[in-house]
Structure 1
Amino acid sequence: MPRPSARPPVSRGRLPRRAIWLGLAVIAVVAGGAYFMREQPAEAAGSGYRTETVERGDVRVSISATGTLAAISTVDIGSQVSGQVTEVLADFNDRVARDQVIARIDPSTFDAQIAQGDAGVRSARASLATAQATLRNAQADYTRKAALADDQLVARADADLARAALDQARAQVGAAQAEITRQLASTQTSRLNLQRTVIRSPVDGVVLTRTVEPGMTVAASLQSPVLFQIAEDLSKMEIVLAIDEADIGQVRVGQGVGFSVDAFPDRQFRGEVQQVRLAATNTNNVITYPVVVAVDNRDEVLLPGMTANAEIEVSRRDDVLRVSNAALRWKPAEEADAPAAVAGAMRSRGDMSGDLSKIAEGLSLTPEQHATFDRELAAMRERQAAQAAARAGASGSSATSNLFGGGRGGNRSAGGGAGGSAAMRQRMLERIQAQFSGFAASLSDAQRERWQAGLVALAGARRAPLYRLVDGQPQRVMVRVGASDGASTEVSGVEDSDRVIVGVERDAG
């Protein structure tokens, strides 16, 4: 019987070729990744600058304020009559319905007044009957004496006396009738006061406070005492915020409001600006305006009196280019000694051709209008190039100051009015209008209105210096800044993923 062939022995000290190649590939990938990660920030690290990347995102501008939650309608229930409280039929947090009895006052005093008034009415009616009988007798007496006086059987004086007695009897009847009316009114007042001894809720709501107990005496002689306070509807509440005069111009009816309360620190509630009141409040020379925020409280977790920490969202920009505010504040110390950089900044500030082209693109121009715009845009670029060349040898700081009203001490923040003062912006607008007067004349009324609105927005746009890191060196560029949330600011004039300088490394230089 043949023996099976033996397998060749495998050496334990050698690995298969496949495992070797796989290991080499893994090592290469790891080494390449490490090299990439090391070389990626090498430019920034080697330059001694701290940088951030221009990115796309949302910028939400809000105004912070505090206020107190309150029911939209709160009714104070008082008493119109004085007396001792005999019953209290509602307690704190009780839900009451309209016309529901919530308290009673001792009615015995008013019962006695009603009885007294009824007796007065009966007495006045008896007096009226007596006066009417006297009137009839006086009328008959006067009629007889008047006839006798005409026949000269009695003296005329007797007839006159009878006439006076008749008039007096008529007056007594009138007085008796008036007394009846007075007594009836007095009795009606007592009956109304008797009804007022029963305190009823004027609305459907919830009892917030109760300041009365059975046996307490209510004195309503000087002013109506408040017995209960009822919130009409706690499913809808409001917050009254005190907004500083510097921010009130940004607040509009309908803006969204987010707020939190200490009772629910992990929960965010929403509301809406319902009213911007005109009544200003002066507190230690600080002017504030009340802003009413409507709040939906369907689940009724919010309670009256809670302190709300609110933020009014006055502006929101979605998916825009944004940079850190630190990048807009940073400025190199040697900028004044870099004429080339300043000249580049001047060209960047003065070149508005891209912005003007964007405005023109939205006007649906005809070919003739487009040709006119291109011709005047080219002329503007030529003038700017000539001006930039003339300034190239001048002092960078003075040139920048003369052209844009802002030198080294200018505003570097996102809120800086790049382009200078309002007068400087007005002159800029007038120059652009003059340079494109022919193009504006070729537009229709609707196009001209949109063109003018775009120019006004462009002239009033805020600008600020920003420094990109290019080849290890800062490169200044003027950007248009928009909304800012305090940490990031919307910008235009840079590209997504550009690296901008936010500071200098501590160990640099």
Structure 2
Amino acid sequence: MAASRSATARKRALPSLRSSALVLGLLAIGIAGWWWSQRDAAAAVGAYRTATVESGDLRVAISATGTLAAISTVDVGSQISGQVTDVLVDFNDRVRRDQVIARIDPSTYQAQIAQGSAAVSSARANLATAKATLANAEVDYKRKAELVGQQLIARSDVDLAKAARDQALAQVAAAQAQITQQQASTQTSQLNLERTVIRSPVDGVVLTRSIEPGQTVAASLQAPVLFQIAEDLSKMEIVLQIDEADIGQVKSGQGVNFTVDAFPDRAFRGKVQQVRLSATNTNNVITYPVVVSVDNADGVLLPGMTANAEIEVSRRDDVLKVPNAALRFKPADDAAPADGAQAQPRGSLAGEVPKLAQSLQLNPTQQAAFDDALKQMRERMAARMAPTNVPQGGGSALFGRGPGGGPGAGNGNSGGDMSGAMRQRMQERFNQQFAAFRATLDAAQQGKWDAGVNALVGARRAPVYKLVDGQPRLAMVRIGVSDGTNTEVSGDIAAGDAVIVGAQRAAQPKAAQ
């Protein structure tokens, strides 16, 4: 009896064991499939090198090297020759305007002044003699003129008296001219005597001194430079040589950061003051001088220091940025998304125009006109995106298509680039498409709309590839400024997205043992 009950229990337990085994088998198959799919996904992810899209600041700068110098540097020279008797200032001395800084031996010019004074006295004595002779000749002429009227003397005697009078008048004039000449000569000697005292023409600091007491200064051909004085070292300047390829980005008022070797851990600031037009050709390299003004209130910067400067030509705050390698990446043909996979990328105008319209705060009538124009635009896009309507040689970026017929196809980051003529034609078609909508806008809205359309049409576009579920996915983005490492992007991309920057190298087979 007991054996019969045991057999019956075993018969009932068999179906339960079979069901449990079946469940365990199905569970094992599911786990194996999940593991296999995860391994394939991990293998796909591992096939690419990626970078994360970040939000931050981008700063575009032009690097150049220049030399610090005082804004105004005066070369103090000598207009006369002579021996230096006194040098009253030295290097780095502060001087004031009209302060005596050197003297030249004045004895030569003092002697010339004494000689000139004697010559003036002699000329004055000659003048007195000439005047006395003139007075005598005048009296003689008058007397003989009266006698000739009485016919007591001959007419020839009167003519001789008149000639003597005129000759005495000329002698008086010559004596007066001689006095003026000697006075001028003496005045020249007096000026040269004053020039033996060298004075500072400005308030400043002595940078260089090229004379010593006892040295002879020769100023026969040109004025020798005795001192070099910087007028004000609290304000300095840097003259940078900027390449012609970058000079178009440099404007007055732009900020400049620079460092000097004397203070490598300290950053200094300046401002572009002037972009000079005088180009310099050095070995067929054209550069333009750019003057940067520098505040040196603390006096730590010295003339002649080499400045390693960066001119900040553009700055973008809180923008999305990707590595430049992401704009150059193009997947292999077997990994590239098929044509038409994204018939309307959000990076195209069709995806960005609604954002522009939303910023205009449209009323219901204007919104209806915009929706109608956008609908027609998308219909035209769909027709152009059809395989049978793809033009040979590429499509139009207006419809989210890049060169090569595919959406955003292209080589490197040139996929969204267009010629000026193509941009103009695209803008004309766009304006025609939205002409009825634009007519419903007021003047302020029209201005904002036109500016936004110009910015969208003129923007450069490029393809990037995001890694989504282990597969590359094309995204057309607008690109902005670049600092050489990262580039500003906007469009079908967000912070935190993984963009592909390259493919992993295939593992090399091990050499045979």
TM-score by length of 2: 0.84
Aligned in 2, Cα 1:159/1:356: closer, same or farther, shift over 3 Å? Answer: farther
Aligned match of 1:379 in 376, 379, 384? 376
Aligned in 2, Cα 1:221/1:397: closer, same or farther, shift over 3 Å? Answer: same
Structure 1 position 470, deviation (Å): 1.3
Q: 2:357 maps to what in 1?
A: 360
Q: 1:114 maps to what in 2?
A: 113
- In 2, are the aligned partners of 1:44 and 1:469 still within 8 Å (CA)? no
- In 2, are the aligned partners of 1:405 and 1:421 still within 8 Å (CA)? no
> Cα deviation per residue 1:90-114 (whole Å; 9 max; x = unaligned)?
1111122222211111010011011
Q: 2:27 maps to what in 1?
A: none
Superposition map of 1:340-351 within 5 A: 341-344=338-341, 347-348=344-345, 351=348
Aligned residue-pair number: 466
- In 2, are the aligned partners of 1:342 and 1:397 still within 8 Å (CA)? no
Question: What amino acid is aligned across from residue 252 of structure 1 in structure 2?
Answer: K
> Cα deviation per residue 1:322-368 (whole Å; 9 max; x = unaligned)?
11111111111317x95x54434663288313432333344454443
- In 2, are the aligned partners of 1:96 and 1:204 still within 8 Å (CA)? yes
In the aligned structure 2, how far is the partner of 1:245 from the partner of 1:98?
A: 41
Structure 1 position 506, deviation (Å): 2.2
Bigger mean CA offset, 124-133 vs 165-174? 165-174
Secondary structure of the equivalent of 2:287?
Answer: strand
Question: What amino acid is aligned across from residue 412 of structure 1 in structure 2?
Answer: G
Secondary structure of the equivalent of 2:315?
Answer: strand
Q: 1:326 maps to what in 2?
A: 325
Structure 1 position 42, deviation (Å): 6.7
Q: 1:439 maps to what in 2?
A: 437
Q: 1:24 maps to what in 2?
A: none
Secondary structure of the equivalent of 2:374?
Answer: helix
Aligned in 2, Cα 1:482/1:497: closer, same or farther, shift over 3 Å? Answer: same
Aligned in 2, Cα 1:344/1:63: closer, same or farther, shift over 3 Å? Answer: farther
Question: What amino acid is aligned across from residue 305 of structure 1 in structure 2?
Answer: G
Computing the radius of gyration from Cα coordinates, the structure with the larger value is 2
CA RMSD of aligned residues (A): 2.8
In the aligned structure 2, how far is the partner of 1:461 from the partner of 1:490?
A: 12
Matched, 1:388 2:385: yes
In the aligned structure 1, how far is the partner of 2:395 from the partner of 2:42?
A: 31
In the aligned structure 2, how far is the partner of 1:41 from the partner of 1:198?
A: 93
Structure 1 position 133, deviation (Å): 1.4
Structure 1 position 426, deviation (Å): 1.4
> Cα deviation per residue 1:416-473 (whole Å; 9 max; x = unaligned)?
5833111111111111111112223333444333332222222211111100011211
Aligned in 2, Cα 1:508/1:475: closer, same or farther, shift over 3 Å? Answer: farther
Secondary structure of the equivalent of 2:125?
Answer: helix
Q: 2:459 maps to what in 1?
A: 461
Q: 2:195 maps to what in 1?
A: 196
> Cα deviation per residue 1:193-217 (whole Å; 9 max; x = unaligned)?
1111111111121111111011110
Superposition map of 1:164-203 within 5 A: 164-203=163-202
Aligned in 2, Cα 1:212/1:40: closer, same or farther, shift over 3 Å? Answer: farther
- In 2, are the aligned partners of 1:259 and 1:311 still within 8 Å (CA)? yes
Q: 1:83 maps to what in 2?
A: 82
- In 1, are the aligned partners of 2:242 and 2:287 still within 8 Å (CA)? yes
TM-score by length of 1: 0.85
Aligned match of 2:448 in 441, 450, 456? 450
> Cα deviation per residue 1:98-153 (whole Å; 9 max; x = unaligned)?
22211111010011011011111111111111121122222222222333344444
In the aligned structure 1, how far is the partner of 2:46 from the partner of 2:240?
A: 49
Q: 1:134 maps to what in 2?
A: 133
Q: 2:35 maps to what in 1?
A: none
Question: What amino acid is aligned across from residue 75 of structure 2 in structure 1?
Answer: D
Identity of aligned residues (%): 67
- In 2, are the aligned partners of 1:419 and 1:425 still within 8 Å (CA)? no
Q: 1:34 maps to what in 2?
A: none
For structure 1, the 5+ residue unaligned runs are: 1-38
Structure 1 position 477, deviation (Å): 1.2
Superposition map of 1:37-116 within 5 A: 43=42, 46-116=45-115
Question: What amino acid is aligned across from residue 439 of structure 2 in structure 1?
Answer: A
Secondary structure of the equivalent of 1:142?
Answer: helix
For structure 2, the 5+ residue unaligned runs are: 1-37, 509-513
Question: What amino acid is aligned across from residue 382 of structure 1 in structure 2?
Answer: E
In the aligned structure 2, how far is the partner of 1:449 from the partner of 1:396?
A: 36
> Where in structure 1 do 4 or more consecutive aligned residues deviate above 6 Å?
39-42, 400-405
In the aligned structure 1, how far is the partner of 2:150 from the partner of 2:454?
A: 108
Secondary structure of the equivalent of 1:343?
Answer: coil
Secondary structure of the equivalent of 2:340?
Answer: helix
Q: 2:366 maps to what in 1?
A: 369
Q: 1:476 maps to what in 2?
A: 474
- In 2, are the aligned partners of 1:281 and 1:288 still within 8 Å (CA)? yes
Aligned in 2, Cα 1:267/1:330: closer, same or farther, shift over 3 Å? Answer: same
Aligned in 2, Cα 1:151/1:372: closer, same or farther, shift over 3 Å? Answer: farther
In the aligned structure 2, how far is the partner of 1:369 from the partner of 1:472?
A: 43
Structure 1 position 165, deviation (Å): 2.6
Structure 1 position 384, deviation (Å): 0.8
Q: 1:14 maps to what in 2?
A: none
Bigger mean CA offset, 399-408 vs 243-252? 399-408
Bigger mean CA offset, 401-410 vs 72-81? 401-410
- In 1, are the aligned partners of 2:257 and 2:269 still within 8 Å (CA)? yes
In the aligned structure 2, how far is the partner of 1:289 from the partner of 1:272?
A: 17
Q: 1:429 maps to what in 2?
A: 427
- In 1, are the aligned partners of 2:366 and 2:437 still within 8 Å (CA)? yes
Secondary structure of the equivalent of 2:386?
Answer: helix
